[in-house]
Structure 1
């Protein structure tokens, strides 16, 4: 289990698959309060064919560190890891907050991004005034209740309750400072007016039942992308674990040019 020290944080990562593959590496970036194992199904599949990188973001999973304040700072960590591994061009694949990081990478390092994949992610979180007040008030409840409520509603109706409880426990292990600070960072993230600058082929995959980052917000974002393909899957916000095989199929088709 390799680690890289970046600005006082030991970042845990996996580097798998053939180094001599013709295709550029895939870089999987997890979401808020999650960890790199959200991508187990996808890494097992693609790691047989090409180099795949995944990491626990700062303060998440088995990575140390805190003090991160913005999505841009998390993107800087990803770049530091790729530089360490001597990877120039790559395909960022980001889920939720990880998709915000992926968009940041495409905007700040366009020469290095070959394609882009966003899973259950958006470019700007938009809410009615009432919904915004409710979200603000939710931060005042006890921390474990705050986490449990947010993780519970991330899954589509009918997903096994015991599995949801295991994800709640895992998320609650993320340091409170990291959880709350990055909750604010996601709400502040806004590149909606810049997505037209991302000119690489882009796949937007979304769960139909996603109420965390609603489908209509993704579709609004999609209109700004010059070269985007959209895939809608019958799932909630946690596509990588709710419908892993369907997500992997969508990624495979996009990466190989198959419909």
Structure 2
């Protein structure tokens, strides 16, 4: 699939892959720092942002989308960064196409299947979709019934756009919901990526635990781990300067 994407800066290519419900603009704080040194490629993954919709939402398929984007841009290999769902895409890309990955930064996700999360988010998405609200304020009121955290509501509302029939979601929320198990899973259990790798973990997040270390070490034998103090799952938004410094540090070895 041809992905909508943005390019910022010039230099060695760095592809940053966003997480679930996000788009290529989510890493604004980190991008503003790194674009002075690198050519940043910021795709909207399928069913997100301005990219096309499709019911195939497996990680091998989404990793192939990134490979096709690299081919389109004539990028033989790149430094790959991915958060959450994007981290799983990045890991899949590194394991299945290691020759295309110069270094790998995985942000607050592990190579494993997760239990069902985001029930509240999907309930809010459905409520807004069914109501066709006439204003963002009305949409936020509907979301508030399901999502109590202001930051999460603000993040989700970035996907709202005006249409001829009121406000609607830009993301393909229904396909994401119907195929959520594919997103929760991590189907790659074989192979290795032996290039430079780091896992950045939010201190207050429960997405990556000590129990994940054996699997990480088996699939990514050069992996190191860093804990970003005082942050949760969106550590790149909470401490962009630190995350940018660690990405730059891995690239320069």
Superposition TM-score tier, normalisation by shorter sequence: 0.7 to 0.9
Is the counterpart of residue 88 in structure 1 residue 76 in structure 2?
yes
Q: Which residue of 1 aligns with 2:223?
A: 228
Structure 1 residues 165, 69: closer, same or farther in 2, change over 3 A?
Answer: closer
What is the aligned length?
227
Q: Are 1:91 and 1:116, in contact at CA under 8 Å, matched by a contact in 2?
A: yes
Question: Aligned equivalents of 1:71 and 1:36: distance in 2?
Answer: 18
2:227 aligned counterpart, secondary structure: strand
Q: Are 2:53 and 2:172, in contact at CA under 8 Å, matched by a contact in 1?
A: no
Structure 1 residues 253, 169: closer, same or farther in 2, change over 3 A?
Answer: same
| 4+ aligned runs moved over 4 Å, structure 1 | 136-139, 145-149
Q: Deviations over 1:49-84 (max 9, x none)?
A: 121111111110122222223111111111111100
Question: Aligned equivalents of 2:147 and 2:202: distance in 1?
Answer: 15
Question: Aligned equivalents of 2:123 and 2:223: distance in 1?
Answer: 40
Shift of residue 112, structure 1, vs aligned partner: 1.6
Shift of residue 89, structure 1, vs aligned partner: 1.2
1:37 aligned counterpart, secondary structure: coil
Q: TM-score, normalised by structure 1?
A: 0.77
Shift of residue 165, structure 1, vs aligned partner: 2.1
Q: Deviations over 1:227-258 (max 9, x none)?
A: 1121101211111212222211221222223x
Question: Aligned equivalents of 2:118 and 2:49: distance in 1?
Answer: 27
Q: Which residue of 2 aligns with 1:142?
A: 123
Is the counterpart of residue 243 in structure 1 residue 239 in structure 2?
yes
- Residues 28-107 of structure 1: matches in 2 within 5 Å? 28-107=16-95
Q: Which residue of 2 aligns with 1:157?
A: none
Q: Which residue of 2 aligns with 1:156?
A: none
2:210 aligned counterpart, secondary structure: helix
1:111 aligned counterpart, secondary structure: helix
Q: Which residue of 1 aligns with 2:195?
A: 200
Q: Which residue of 1 aligns with 2:9?
A: 17
Question: Aligned equivalents of 1:95 and 1:31: distance in 2?
Answer: 5
2:82 aligned counterpart, secondary structure: strand
Q: Are 2:5 and 2:43, in contact at CA under 8 Å, matched by a contact in 1?
A: yes
Q: Are 2:103 and 2:250, in contact at CA under 8 Å, matched by a contact in 1?
A: no
Q: Deviations over 1:202-224 (max 9, x none)?
A: 0110111113x233354343332
- Residues 169-188 of structure 1: matches in 2 within 5 Å? 169-170=157-158, 173=169, 174-188=171-185
Q: Are 2:17 and 2:24, in contact at CA under 8 Å, matched by a contact in 1?
A: yes
Q: Which residue of 2 aligns with 1:189?
A: 186
2:91 aligned counterpart, secondary structure: helix
Shift of residue 138, structure 1, vs aligned partner: 4.2
Q: Mind listing any 5+ residue stretches in structure 1 that lack a counterpart? A: 1-5, 127-131, 154-160
1:38 aligned counterpart, secondary structure: coil
